Structure 1
Amino acid sequence: MNIALLGYGKMGKEIEKIALQRGHIIVLKKGSQDSFEGLSKADVAIDFSIPTTAIENITTCLQQNIPVISGTTGWLDQYEQMVSLCYEKQGAFLYGSNFSVGVNLFFELNNYLAKMMAQLSEYRVSMEEIHHTQKLDAPSGTAISLAKGIIEHTPYTGWTMETPLSDQIPIEAKRIENVPGTHSVYYRSEVDEIEIKHTAFSRQGFALGAVIAAEWIEHKKGVFSMKDVLSIGK
């Protein structure tokens, strides 16, 4: 399979390494200042760029009928526009706030726990995420996905990084050198605390999941998520 890498930072290089190990060919390695030359040769594109270039990358792929996987966070206010464009062009688009298999299982665990805790008003939920200092957005896309999962199944209506209202989930975002990603969800009462946590040890899990998603989406049409790729939560 021919793969275009849109974004060639640390994640892009990790994806390249795994893609080559799995027998794929890299036809484009695009930094933020590079052109799209070579994109037409791709069977699928993987976007791990930055928020200011992700929309252009995804749009260009969909307009050229190239399936696109995006793991870039910080641009989701325009997500529905990309979904509409995908359907308009009859293309294939998959966004994931996190491509790690372990994190996607963690999403399902988070949803299940939220359903159990929904009626237990004595417990207050809070969240913490820790990432490396180069991460541009806060909170992380993964943290937002976790918060949305809780909101879907409980009386909470939103999240905040400020002092929360009674129906808001507080999220604390920390930036520490060389931390690939740690996410914790806490349910605390006056007598005890329940915690679920996912800790990434390297970027390799994220990169492998992105390549698996790229392999899966080839020849498909529509808008997908990692739930479709991994057949979980169905």
Structure 2
Amino acid sequence: MKIALLGYGKMGKTIERLASERGHTIVYKKTSSASEGELHKADAAIDFSTPETAEKNILLGLETGIPVISGTTGWLEAFQKITKFCQDRNGSFIYASNFSVGVNLFFQLNEQLATVMNSWPEYKVSIEEIHHTQKKDAPSGTAITVAEGIIKHSEKKKWTLNEGDPDAIEIKARRIDDVKGTHSVYYTSEIDTISIKHEAHSRDGFAIGAIMAAEWILDKKGIFTMKDVLEIG
């Protein structure tokens, strides 16, 4: 498979290394200031860029007529615009707040736990996410996905960042040097705490998941998620 990298930072370079190990070729690389290669030769494009450039990058890939895989977070105010554009052009698009296989299993476990805990209102739910200090958005897209999974199966209607709103799921966002990503869900009562946690040890898990998504979508049209790729849920 020939891959375009829309974003060539740490994640882009990790994808380049792992894609090569899986027998794929990088035919195009794009940063915020320059590009190299020929985008139209790509079979799929993978976007790990910035919240400011993601929308433009995704539209560029869809305009070129190739499937786009996006793992950039912080741009979702444009999601409806992107999906309509994709549908109008009969394109192919996957967005995930996190492409790690382990995290997507964690998402599924989180929803199952939320279903069980909904019958026990004495347990207060909260989320903590920890990332490296270079991460620009807070809370993380992964933490928001976790919160949305709980909301689907509980009486909660919203989430808040670092605030003590009793009607919302509180998300605590912490930034520590060189933390790849840790997400925890806590159900706390006066007598005990139940928790689940996912801790990333490297960027490889995110990159492999994105490559798997690109491999999966090649012969498909439409808008998909990692649940489709992994056949879970």
Is the TM-score greater than 0.5? yes
Looking at structure 2, the residues matched to 171 and 86 of structure 1 have their Cα atoms a distance apart, in angstroms, of 32
**Which residue of 2 is the match for residue 113 of structure 1?**
113
What's the RMSD between the two structures over aligned residues? Answer: 1.0
For 2:100 and 2:84, locate their aligned partners in 1 and report how far apart those are by CA, in whole Å.
Answer: 26
Provide the residue aligned with 1:5 in structure 2: 5
1:51 match: secondary structure: coil
Q: List 4+ stretches of structure 1 deviating above 3 A.
A: none
- What does 1:140-159 correspond to in 2, within 5 Å? 140-159=140-159
Alignment match, 1:88:
88
State how 1:49-198 maps to structure 2 within 5 Å. 49-198=49-198
The secondary structure found in structure 2 opposite 1:121 is: coil
- Count residues in correspondence: 233
Conservation of the 8 A alpha-carbon contact between 2:162 and 2:173: no
Q: How far has the Cα of 1:119 moved from its partner? A: 2.0
Shift of 1:191: 0.8
The CA distance in 2 between the partners of 1:170 and 1:41, in whole Å, is: 45
Give aligned-pair identity as a percent: 61
CA distance in 2 between partners of 1:158 and 1:110 (Å): 16
1:83-137 Cα offsets, whole Å, 9 max, x none, are 1111000000000100000000000000000000112110100110000111110
C-alpha distance in 2 between matches for 1:73 and 1:180: 15
2: CA distance, partners of 1:155 / 1:65: 42
Indicate if the aligned counterparts of 2:28 and 2:35 stay in contact, CA closer than 8 A.
no
The aligned residue for residue 15 of structure 1 is 15
Structure 2, unmatched stretches of 5+, are: none
Letter in 2 for 1:99: F
Q: CA deviation at 1:37?
A: 5.3
Q: Bigger CA drift: 159-168 or 204-213?
A: 159-168
Shift of 1:161: 1.1
- Aligned-partner Cα distance in 2 for 1:197–1:28: 36
Aligned residue in 1 for 2:204 = 204
**2:226 alignment counterpart:** 226
Partners of 1:137 and 1:162 in 2: CA distance: 14
Task: Confirm or deny: 8 A CA contact 2:29 2:37 kept in the other structure.
Answer: no
Following TM superposition, by how much is the alpha carbon of 1:78 offset from its aligned partner in structure 2, in angstroms? 1.0
What letter is aligned with 1:78? A
